[in-house]
Structure 1
Amino acid sequence: MNPKHRTPGPALVAALTALLLAATGCSSKADGGKSSDGAGADGVKSGPGVTADTIRLGALTDLTGPYATLGKSIVQAQKMWADETNAAGGICDRKIEIVVKDHGYDVQKAVTAYADISPDVVALPQVIGSPVVAALLDDIERDRLLTFPQAWAASLLGKDSVQVVGTTYDVDMIAAVDFLTRAKGLAKGATIGHVYFEGDYGSNALEGSTYAAEKAGLKVVGQKIKATDTDLSAQVTALQKAGVKAVLISAGPAQTASLVGVAASRGLKVPVVSSAPGFAPQLMKTPAAPALTAMLNVVSAAPAVSSDLPGVRRMVAAYEKKFPGSQVDAGVLSGYNAAQLLGADLKKACAAGSLARADVVKAHRSQKSADTGLGSPQDFSDVAKPAALSTYVLKPDAKAAGGLAGVEDAHTAPGVEEYLSGRS
């Protein structure tokens, strides 16, 4: 799912565009070149994406591909944040504008969209997809463009300008194995299955499950699948033959529904644990809903949107008012949280006298306990480590907002810190 090569055409265009901008010192598009690298009348240094009255942000999202539902939720949540922020006077006496580009989960389209949007934004509060972010990593770092991926592969760590919010997939799977042994009675010597997407998402998740299983005396049987695989009958057959006592899945909602539904129909009624991208509330309106309710748990760095946390309740109420009829899901929480975190970075950069890209990144990396009230505090000071180590355990609930209810509050699973120390 994560191509390692880059298509040279758009990348070259992006590089030439960046060189041209560096030479001219101003944006070539919106605002007729009013954005500059000098200090404005208010004494605040600006740069690409910043004018005397506007801060422009960008979103590279999926509105027409496999994660279109997620993309819509994140876009609407971040627009809601921008509207709320502007109604309160903006940031640094400037209004927030978010420019949205749909890549349809196509890496080539995303590279082209980045080349188009990057000269005129100061940060990217949303980029959907591990393969998309991986293809853009070098460009993002070169452009010093603070970016919040809606992707959680550990391979995205280590870049000053790229911020994975919350945990990474491997940390989630360590927590999943801990939950299975602690709460589901999985005993030493048992075999667990792990169904995972090819690419960074799945391979990173498998690293975590393999590590945790070895520590717990368990055996992992892996089943690699493609993002286009939506019938997991063959995988269920293989897992049954292997005698698995539980299954982990690191894939999308369609794959989770197929896995759980087929397993239940064939009598493989074992606990299944998914990472957050593997669930969507729409699944609770499918024939797989009873099996999901009975068998599935979700490990997530974020709480359920049905949480009683005051910040989450306020966000849900505001979203339902602004977008009546729209499903409130994990994408809403994730998108709104990322936007609030970026807003705090922009405010801190403004207070320090500069909204230039490098200074926004500097302000971000100085945040050691960023807390939006939407989950665990985040430490952004170490680029090589996940911003948070704690995970929640959730379960499907058709009556709950977002289709999930809380099972366990955020906590750091045993072995996580040791695993990360050994990886560094």
Structure 2
Amino acid sequence: MNRTHLGTAAVAVSLVLTLAGCSGKTGSSADGTNAGGVKTGPGVTADAIRVGIITDLTGPAAPLGKPSLQATQLYVDQVNAAGGVCGRKLKLVVRDHGFDVQKAVAAYAEVQPQVAALGSLLGSAQTAALLDSIERDGLVTMVGGNAASSLGHQHIQVMSTTYDLDMINGVDWLVRTQGLKSGDEIGLVHQPGEYGENAAEGVRFAAKKAGLDLVVRTVKPTETDMTAQVTALGAAKVKAIVFAGTPGQTASLVGVAAATGLKVPVLAHAAAYVPQLLATPAKPALEKMLYVTGGVPALSSDLPGVKKLVKDYRAKYPKEELNVGVQVGTTNGAVLVEALKAACEAKDLSRAGITAGLRTLKRFDKGMGSVLDFSDPAKSPSRKSYVLRPAAGVPGGLKTVQDATEVPAVAEYLAARD
């Protein structure tokens, strides 16, 4: 998912979660061929497949990292209850990096020899720091950040629409529905780094195509007061604002804008929103001014897979609030399970076999939104984005404004980039 998120801390540092027992199968080694003729590799034994999770449970992204882990655990529990994969139960090996890049690197060094794949690596900066190591080790890794810089690596998998494509789709919607016209000025506020820069790249392309002039301001990940940025945008009399930052910054930006009379539509990436914002004083402004764009649907949608997920998650974690992390964790688990099943059918649970299994998934669909294509690591698995808006009292605190859409500018952008 995404670069950073503000919120409360969660527990569990360097925690190993064992989600099921043994099947009683024998004759397998950590690196060889078992009695059933299935080739194995690190993290695979006669009765278990160990999957790594390197995420944020105690840092600024914990509001997404914790529910994502819980959703993956829920999905794995269900898979294990149905017999597991290839006669083996899945076991999660979890490490908390607190959203610190160096801690993520250290956690990877510890976990990598123990696991068959990484079911989640949260953070675009963390992923960037580990790209070379992951490719060297041939370890299938589901990344929890959708920066385009993660594309083109054989063993690394972006799980949804990349940030730049989301913003192209989102800005197109903004122009079509909010009365923007050629020559208007709009604000672009973004963080530095893979997340913010990739989002900004999409905004710049879309704005140029629509004839919009950009007033650009950056914001450090640690900044919490957006008064300076809003003041500059107000002085420029922008007609809209596009934002790629953290949820806490979203609340500040929208709240300050409303309080100072800059009551314009604000389009934020999904990484910049969590439903906890509706419990802040910015709630009225958020409900009137904010729109969210991203590659996953609202948890309040009628999609069958989403409805089942909400029901199952609430039954397992009745005191937890749902957000997009729940969808990310479920999708990560489901995609990895399908890749493992494909590898099992090919009788190859080595790391190379799991990667090959992942690349067979050309039309992945669990009833949770867009059909995803994981066959080409150089391409975003989807090019469609939703537009949502805050709504109190519904799962995830968002309702649908526009269903998954790919606008023509996306193809133009990708052609120009290639």
Q: TM-score, normalised by structure 1?
A: 0.91
Aligned to 1:321: 315
Tell me the distance in 1 between the aligned counterparts of 2:385 and 2:155: 24
Q: CA deviation at 1:35?
A: 4.0
Aligned to 2:137: 143
Alpha carbons 1:45, 1:353 under 8 Å: kept: yes
Contact 1:300–1:392 at 8 Å: present in 2 too? yes
| Whole-angstrom CA distance in 2 between matches of 1:220 and 1:173 | 14
Instruction: Output aligned runs, 1:60-99, within 5 Å.
Output: 60-99=54-93
Looking at structure 2, the residues matched to 372 and 49 of structure 1 have their Cα atoms a distance apart, in angstroms, of 26
Match of 1:410 in 2: 404
Query: In the alignment, does 2:268 pair up with 1:274?
Result: yes
Q: Which of 248, 254, 261 is 2:248 aligned to?
A: 254
- Note if 1:295 corresponds to 2:289: yes
Q: How much has 1:37 moved relative to structure 2?
A: 2.2
1:326 CA drift (Å): 0.5
Deviations 1:147-184 (A, max 9, x none): 11110111111101111111111111111210111111
Asked if residue 128 in structure 1 is aligned to residue 149 in structure 2, the reply is no
Secondary structure at 1:291 match in 2: helix
Note the alpha carbon deviations across 1:324-368, whole angstroms, 9 max, x for none.
111111100111011101110100110110110111111111221
Where do 4+ consecutive residues of structure 1 move more than 4 Å? none
Q: 2:373 matched to 1:379?
A: yes
Kept after mapping to 2: 8 A contact 1:341/1:372? no
Query: Is the contact made by 2:169 and 2:405 (CA closer than 8 Å) also made in structure 1?
Result: no
Aligned equivalents of 1:115 and 1:49: distance in 2?
14
Aligned length: 393
Helix, strand or coil for the counterpart of 1:163?
strand
Q: 1:304 aligns with which of 290, 293, 298?
A: 298
Q: What is the CA deviation profile of residues 123-162 of structure 1, one whole-angstrom value per residue up to 9, with x for unaligned ones?
A: 1111111110000000001111111111011111110111
Cα distance in 2, alignment partners of residues 186 and 35 from structure 1: 62
Please tell me the root mean square deviation across aligned C-alpha atoms, in Å. Answer: 1.1
The structure with the greater share of residues assigned to helix is 1
The secondary structure found in structure 2 opposite 1:381 is coil
Alpha-carbon offset, residue 414 of structure 1: 2.4
SS at match of 1:187: coil
Q: What stretches of structure 1 of length at least 5 have no aligned partner?
A: 3-33
Does residue 208 in structure 1 map to residue 220 in structure 2? no
Residue 313 of structure 1 aligns to a residue whose secondary structure is helix
The match for 1:7 is none
* Cα distance in 2 for residues equivalent to 1:35 and 1:264: 62
- Pairing 1:190-209 to 2, within 5 Å after superposition: 190-209=184-203
Task: State how far apart, in whole Å, the 1-side matches of 2:346 and 2:125 are.
Answer: 35
Q: Counterpart of 1:261 in structure 2: which amino acid?
A: G
In 1: Cα distance, 2:69 partner to 2:375 partner: 27
Match of 2:151 among 141, 157, 161: 157
User: Which deviations, in whole Å up to 9, do the C-alpha atoms of 1:289-323 show, x marking residues without a partner?
Assistant: 11000000110100011111011111110000011
What TM-score, normalized by structure 2, do the two folds share? 0.93
Identity %: 52
Deviation at 1:382, TM superposition (A): 2.0
